[in-house]
Amino acid sequence: MLTFIFRRLLIATGLIFVISLISFFMITLAPGSPYPWGELNPKISPQVKEAFRKKFHLDRSLPEQYWLNMRDLFSGRLKSIKDERPVLERIGERLPATLMLNVYAICVSLVFGLVWGVWAAQRAGTWPDVVSSVASFALIALPGFWIAYLILIGLVKHASVPVLGTQSYGILFPNMLSMGLDRIWHIVLPGTILALGGIAVQSRFIRATVLEAMREDYIRTARAKGLPEESVFYKHALRNAIRPLITGIGSLLPALIGGSLIIETIFAYPGMGRLGYEAVLERDYPTLVAINFIAAALILLGNLLADILYAVVDPRVRLE
């Protein structure tokens, strides 16, 4: 088991560097000026420009820039072009909020996806199953921002429910409990909308793997042994069918982090996604590099976690 983890970690480290190369490559080779002023603005003296270039390493060769950027990133010295604050600090402020939102969304996706998928598998071929299949595609086809807006219109206009940010402003809460609930509400609404597609995708996978497992030979053996049908289903089939739940941890994460950008913007939720969006508009390269890197690293971590969980669940993997 330990060798398994160690090997995975090695691969992960290799991947991180490929990732960092990719993000650096994209960002620096793109046209577009990083300067916070116009290229040809005559008011800015050449010395100031030169000093700026030196400061952000823009005068060095590309490989050197890469090395320097990475060094600064890891040592925390990398500074945002926009306001000179350390990039890691800016991200650090926003990261917990995004993490909470995304972890919530993943949990919702996995749990509801499992329940729905099992429900559909047990009714495979019947009308409820067909309707449920269409419904799952409907959730995937829904543009996230559209449904978010529709819900916003409904809630804000017709029900006056506060939805933006991480907490409701201007309201005094009598105690910790109701304040906590308010905070949770502010995660639940955007998080659930974020998770809609994930729930649908997971339910489809689970349905497929459950049906596949039920066709396997060992199910016939279990029945031949005289086991009651619930045992056959929940103990023998389901244990083999939860693979998508685990790989889901790894594969849902990239989609969610990307999607959370839109959701965070709509709900004025102060997360890393919004920070990235602002950085893109302002051409703030250091922040962009850092965010891409951290997002990819998080996802890599998620994949690693999924791999380990997979080994826990399937003895064939852990004993190879």
- Output 188 or 301, the one with its CB closest to other proteins: 301
Give first-to-last CA distance, the chain, whole Å.
9
At 139, which amino acid appears?
L
Positions 66 through 95 that interact with other proteins (CB under 8 A): none
Which one of residues 10, 18, 48, 161 is an interface residue with other proteins (CB under 8 A)?
18
Q: Does 239 bind other proteins (CB under 8 A)?
A: yes
Within 10 angstroms of residue 251's Cβ, the number of other Cβ atoms is: 19
Q: Does 140 bind other proteins (CB under 8 A)?
A: yes
Contact letters (x/-) for other proteins, 184-213, by CB under 8 A?
A: ---------------------------x--
Which one of residues 5, 83, 258, 268 is an interface residue with other proteins (CB under 8 A)?
258
Q: Does 10 bind other proteins (CB under 8 A)?
A: no
Please report how close the Cβ of residue 295 comes to other proteins at its closest, in angstroms: 5
* Cα–Cα distance measured from residue 151 to residue 193, given in angstroms and rounded to the nearest whole number: 9
Positions 27 through 56 that interact with other proteins (CB under 8 A): 27, 30-32
Q: Which two tokens stand for residue 97?
A: 């909020």
Residues shown for the chain: 320
Which one of residues 169, 170, 215, 230 is an interface residue with other proteins (CB under 8 A)?
215
Which one of residues 2, 40, 141, 172 is an interface residue with other proteins (CB under 8 A)?
141
Query: Which residues 6+ apart lie within 8 Å of 84 measured at CB?
Result: none
Query: Which residues 6+ apart lie within 8 Å of 237 measured at CB?
Result: 210, 213, 214, 216, 219
Instruction: Decide if 13 contacts 312 (C-beta within 8 A).
Output: no
Please report how close the Cβ of residue 40 comes to other proteins at its closest, in angstroms: 19
Which one of residues 117, 191, 248, 259 is an interface residue with other proteins (CB under 8 A)?
259
Q: Does 26 bind other proteins (CB under 8 A)?
A: yes
Q: Does 97 bind other proteins (CB under 8 A)?
A: no
Which one of residues 146, 159, 160, 170 is an interface residue with other proteins (CB under 8 A)?
146
Phi then psi dihedrals of residue 72, to 5 deg: -65, -40
What 8-state DSSP symbol labels residue 228? -
Instruction: Decide if 139 contacts 196 (C-beta within 8 A).
Output: yes
Please report how close the Cβ of residue 70 comes to other proteins at its closest, in angstroms: 16
* Cα–Cα distance measured from residue 209 to residue 141, given in angstroms and rounded to the nearest whole number: 22
Q: Does 62 bind other proteins (CB under 8 A)?
A: no
Q: Does 217 bind other proteins (CB under 8 A)?
A: yes
Q: Find, among 301, 272, 299, the residue nearest to 288 by Cα.
A: 272
Q: Does 111 bind other proteins (CB under 8 A)?
A: no
Positions 271 through 310 that interact with other proteins (CB under 8 A): 273, 276-277, 280-281, 283, 288, 291-292, 295-296, 299-300, 303
* Cα–Cα distance measured from residue 85 to residue 95, given in angstroms and rounded to the nearest whole number: 16
Please report how close the Cβ of residue 124 comes to other proteins at its closest, in angstroms: 5
Contact letters (x/-) for other proteins, 154-173, by CB under 8 A?
A: --xx----------------
* Cα–Cα distance measured from residue 167 to residue 183, given in angstroms and rounded to the nearest whole number: 5
Phi then psi dihedrals of residue 2, to 5 deg: -65, -40
Please report how close the Cβ of residue 26 comes to other proteins at its closest, in angstroms: 6
Q: Which residue has the tokens 């396997």?
A: 216
